[in-house]
Amino acid sequence: MILTVDENSPSDLKKIITKLQKCRKALLRTLGYEAVSFQGSRVNAASVLPALENMLAVDLSSIYGASSADNSYYVYVHCDPTKGLDVRNNLKHLFLASKFGLKHEPFYVGKGTGNRAEELSRNDGHRKIRARLTQLGKEVEVVRVAVGLSEEESLALESKVIDILGIRSFGQNGMLVNLDEGTKAQERRRLYSPQGRAILRKNGFLAPNPEKITGLGGLNSAVTYRKK
């Protein structure tokens, strides 16, 4: 596919982003993904926070492997100090404050060792946020949300945070400027509850198609899947 776009034209950029998102979804469907929705109603507020907590608690060791002896890894987030968490009106913000002690909205998540968290050279979306903060006389707030992890544990936590917060380029509910969904996205998303998969869908991700998944009997009837 060859696409021509004027990078100085907002209209052209919007069209190309829309086209690429459609191509991505079409490709993922061929790989076994399908959208998921609730019957009759959306996820209600009372169920969102427990669903987020359950997603964080899911054991992904079967996907990323057992923990190794090296516990030098950690998971970090880069936060925007100009955007305080609104814990009264935003359940994701409440989740972030209660689980990770954050005070400002994160826009990037990663894992690493040593000084990786403090190295701020990332993608173009990340650069634009840094540039805006610099103009305001601010700096990126770096927070290590979990330390003393094995590489496998850091991969699992990083991936779950991506699923929970969403990626901005995938949908309007996404919070992160990360460019990818983390490793083994399809495999790990099979382990989430129906409520967790509904949150994935609201974040702009595609939940796995159960017709291509084995060993998942007894799915909650409140969730339906579209057949191809």
Q: What is the pLDDT of residue 7?
A: 79
DSSP string, 67-83: --S---EEEEEEEEEEE
Residue 63 has pLDDT above 60, yes or no: yes
**What would the pLDDT profile of 68-117 be if each residue is shown by its tens digit?**
999 999 999 999 999 999 988 888 999 999 999 999 999 999 999 999 99
H or E segment at 23? helix 10-30
How far separated are the first and last CA of the chain, in Å rounded? 24
pLDDT digits (tens, 9 = 90+) for 200-226: 988 988 766 544 433 332 223 233 333
CB atoms < 10 A from the CB of 106, how many?
24
Domain spans in the chain, listed from the N-terminal domain onward: 28-225
Residue 55: exposure state from Cβ atoms within 10 A (0-12, 13-18, ≥19): buried
Question: Which tokens in the block code for residue 227?
Answer: 């057949």
Give the pLDDT confidence of 158-182 residue by residue, as tens digits. 999 999 999 999 988 899 999 999 8
> What region does 63 belong to: left with phi over 0, alpha with psi -120 to 50, or beta?
alpha
Token pair for 149: 């992890």
- The predicted model scores a pTM of 0.72
Calpha distance 220→228 (Å, rounded): 20
- The helix (H) or strand (E) run that includes residue 224 is strand 223-225
Which one, of 38, 21, 37, 40, lies nearest residue 29 by Cα? 21
Q: What are the residues whose beta carbons fall under 8 Å from the beta carbon of 195, sequence distance 6 or more?
A: 43, 47, 50, 51, 54, 220
**Is pLDDT of 58 > 80?**
yes
Reply yes or no on whether the pLDDT at 187 is more than 50. Answer: yes
What digits encode the pLDDT tens for the residues 121-158? 999 999 999 999 999 999 999 999 999 999 999 999 99
